[in-house]
Amino acid sequence: MQPLTASTSFSALQSHLASAKNWHLLDLFAQDSQRFADMSLKTGDLLLDYSKNLITAETLQLLLNLAHERGVEEQREAMFAGAKINTTENRAVLHTALRAPRDARLLLDGQDVIADVHAVLDQMRAFTQRVRSGQWRGHTGAAITDIVNIGIGGSDLGPRTVCQALRPFAQPGLQLHFVSNVDGCDLDAVLFRCNPETTLFIIASKTFTTLETMMNAHSARDWLLQHGCTEAALTRHFVALSTNTAAVKAFGIAPENMFPFWDWVGGRYSVWSAIGLSVALAVGFDHFAEFLQGAHTMDQHFRSAPLESNMPVLLALVGIWNRNFLGCSSLSIAPYLQDLRLLPAFLQQLDMESNGKSVARDGAALETASGPLVWGQAGTNGQHAYFQLLHQGTDVIPVDFIAALKPQHKLPGHHAALLANCFAQSEALMRGKSTEEVRSEMQAQGIDPAQIAALAPHRTFAGNRPSNTILMDALTPKTLGTLIALYEHKVFVQGVIWGVNSFDQWGVELGKVLAQKIQSELLSAARPQQHDSSTNGLVAIAKTAL
Ligand code: G6Q
């Protein structure tokens, strides 16, 4: 495929950049009273305001030309239709099918995937009802009180983020726990809080071979056996979410306690599949269905809206402008919602694992930057930590502010304070504070001129720093589904423009293989010799402690 730099619209954007260098966001707003109206759009329950970016109508048009030229519409259709766009693994990419309604139809290799999806959803519905109603019993006949999801990466972050975000919808009396790290402290801390008679373990692993998950699963099994559960009764305490039937069986989980999914569901796109079982258990199946429905609303919008009024496309294009033309290497995610505090970590995986690539789909080295570093924290906490760098650091870091108009609590005053902070931060990043403003403020306070001269540079903010704001009515299962799907499709569009395969993760595999080798060296008597002197030295020191 043609490198991005060779496309006509990329060159046009590069020429356009020369004029953009002199823009200030404040001037762009002053020149156009319609800017917010023109550069914001609503779809489903979400509003995206992208007007505080260093773009004009012309920039947007050139970016849209780029999207057309790079084949966003064709690739989008290929994904929805089940083409094997994950070429390095020869797989379709069909997380959108996981939230399609029952009456939809999609054939993949002659198999109706929608029918398969709904068969598993029915299995999940029946199971969640049995557990939540107390019908499902542990080995002593007591109802389940604690559910532990054991998984890592895509089999952990999605359900963990969603369960936390939907906390107000959870059933009291049923505690959800998540264990991911191979560090025994993770499982140990959870087991300490659980009763073996009333704990259900969900082993969530697409491959059912991941070291961390399998080690934690075996330790959980041992814990139950040590606490009075017989081998035969283990079946009341374990269910599996996986694509690997043979490995699930070998572990000892009954086939009827396995919730399958398929190779066309990528780990970081799997919360909509059986991997979302912990969500359905926590908030009830009907809420889980609303979460799927919210995502489906965004899928329909993404698939059918023209690019110029397509929310994921616009969010992606603004990101391309910031990354490839304004040189911003990082994107900060700031949810002004405490229950969404894990969203930055979730989006970090979604974006960085998908687009953290340096070769194009045909294997050629990329000539431009691809996925940015994605990071963040919930507001207002972040304001009292790293926002200093966002305002006055030497790097310009665009921010996505995310907020809800209505709170999920009844405490008076808090929500207005939260929203005020959210809006004030994006305004401050844009507006900045000139040295002139600082000087006159200090003069008005009667500060002496020498002190003003010394302090003014420190109290000056350049401003002109870009941000998006995403507003939802309230954080509900439906809006959360719509929001996550928005980002999934944004990442997809950017991957198409960069020309990368957003759906493989070979970088994750290398670490898995090397760790297995070192682990066997740590536990054997032989001296490690196969590495560099640093790795050999570290392994040798660790062997003395183990
Ligand atoms: C996600 C990645 C990765 C994966 C984990 C867990 O897209 O592939 O984060 O989800 O490595 O893999 P398993 O589900 O196979 O245990």
Give me the count of residues in the chain: 546
521: left (phi over 0), alpha (psi -120 to 50) or beta: alpha
Residue 50 has pLDDT above 90, yes or no: yes
Q: How far apart are the CA of 364 and the centre of ligand 1, in A? A: 26
- Model pLDDT for residues 129-157, shown as the tens digit of each residue: 999 999 999 999 999 999 999 999 999 99
Given a contact cutoff of 8 angstroms between Cβ atoms, the answer to whether 528 and 534 are in contact is no
Is 17 in a helix, a strand, or coil? helix
User: What is the DSSP secondary-structure string of 148-163?
Assistant: EEE--GGGTHHHHHHH
- Give residue 477's pLDDT band: very low, low, confident or very high (50, 70, 90): very high
Q: What is the pLDDT of residue 319?
A: 98
HSE-up of residue 272 (Cα within 13 Å, Cβ side) = 31
| CA–CA separation, 490 and 314 (whole Å) | 8
Mutual angle of helices 506-523 and 211-226, in 10-degree steps: 50
Tell the residue nearest (CA) to atom 16 of ligand 1.
205
User: What is the pLDDT confidence band of residue 515, given thresholds at 50, 70 and 90?
Assistant: confident
Residues with CB under 6 A from ligand 1: 152-155, 205-207, 210, 213, 266-268, 353, 505, 508
Q: Per-residue confidence at 503, pLDDT binned at 50, 70, 90?
A: very high
Rounded to whole angstroms, the Cα distance separating 327 from 349 reads 22
Name the residue of 89, 179, 207 to mutate for ligand 1: max ligand atoms within 8 A of Cβ. Answer: 207
Q: How many CA atoms lie within 13 A of 106 on its CB side?
A: 26
Query: For 485-497, what is each residue's pLDDT tens digit?
Result: 999 999 999 999 9
Averaged pLDDT for residues 41-67: 97
Cβ neighbors of 32 (< 8 A, separation 6 or more) are: 38
Average pLDDT, the chain: 96
Q: How far is the CA of 124 from the centre of ligand 1 (A)?
A: 21
- The answer to which of 18-22, 189-193, 388-392 has the lowest mean pLDDT is 18-22
| pLDDT interval class at 361 (50, 70, 90) | very high
How far apart are alpha carbons 355 and 4 in whole angstroms? 15
End-to-end CA distance of the chain: 51
Q: Which amino acid is at 500?
A: V
Torsion of CA 92, 95, 101, 106, to 10 degrees: 0
Distance 505 CA to ligand 1 centre (A): 9
- Among this protein's residues, is 512 annotated catalytic? yes
Task: List, as one string, the DSSP characters of 393-423.
Answer: SSS---EEEEEEEE-SS--TTHHHHHHHHHH
Rounded to an integer, the average pLDDT of 360-385 is 97
Query: Which of 425, 514, 513, 546 lies closest to 209 in space, CA to CA?
Result: 513
Active site residue 68: no
Q: What is the arithmetic mean of pLDDT over 62-91? A: 98
Please give the pLDDT value at position 406. 98
**For residue 30, what are the contacts with CB-CB under 8 A and spacing of at least 6?**
none
**Residue 516: per-residue pLDDT:** 82
The preferred substitution site among 157, 508, 513 for testing ligand 1, maximizing ligand atoms within 8 Å of CB, is 508
In this model, does residue 546 exceed pLDDT 90? no
Q: Which two tokens stand for residue 478?
A: 């439906």
The DSSP secondary-structure symbol of 364 reads P
Catalytically annotated residue among 353, 489, 490, 521: 353
Question: Among the atoms of ligand 1, which is closest to the Cα of residue 269?
Answer: 7
Give me the pLDDT at residue 334, please: 98
Q: Which amino acid is at 270?
A: S
Which amino acid is present at 476? Answer: T
State how far the alpha carbon of 290 is from the alpha carbons of 165, 370, 480, in Å. 14, 34, 9
Instruction: Provide Rg for the chain, Cα atoms.
Output: 26
- pLDDT value of position 524: 87
For a mutational test of ligand 1's pocket, the pick from 152, 178, 202, 269, i.e. the residue with the most ligand atoms closer than 8 A to its C-beta, is: 152
DSSP 7-26: SHHHHHHHHHHHHHTT--HH
Q: How far is the CA of 270 from the centre of ligand 1 (A)?
A: 9
pLDDT category, 171, cuts 50, 70, 90? Answer: confident
CA 58 to chain centroid: 31
- Closest atom of ligand 1 to 266 CA is 7
pLDDT band at 280 (very low <50, low <70, confident <90, very high): very high
At residue 510, the pLDDT reads 81
Q: Which residues contact 77 (CB under 8 A, 6 or more apart)?
A: 303
Catalytic member of 42, 218, 409, 512 = 512
State pTM to two decimals. Answer: 0.97
Q: What angle do CA 24, 37, 307 make, to 5 degrees?
A: 95
> Quick check: is 89 catalytic?
no
Residue 512, pLDDT > 80, answer no
Structure tokens at 225: 């056996």
pLDDT in tens, 212-271: 999 999 999 999 999 999 999 999 999 999 999 999 999 999 999 999 999 999 999 999
Per-residue pLDDT at 527 exceeds 80: no
Which pLDDT belongs to residue 126? 98
* CA 204 to ligand 1 center in whole angstroms: 10
Residues 446-472 have a mean pLDDT of: 97
Distance 153 CA to ligand 1 centre (A): 5
Using CA positions, which residue lies closest to atom 2 of ligand 1? Answer: 267
Kindly give the distance from the C-alpha atom of residue 154 to the centroid of ligand 1, in angstroms, as a whole number: 5
Would the pLDDT of 480 be above 90? yes
- CA-nearest residue, atom 9 of ligand 1: 153
Of residues 170, 241, 174, the one with CA closest to residue 202: 241
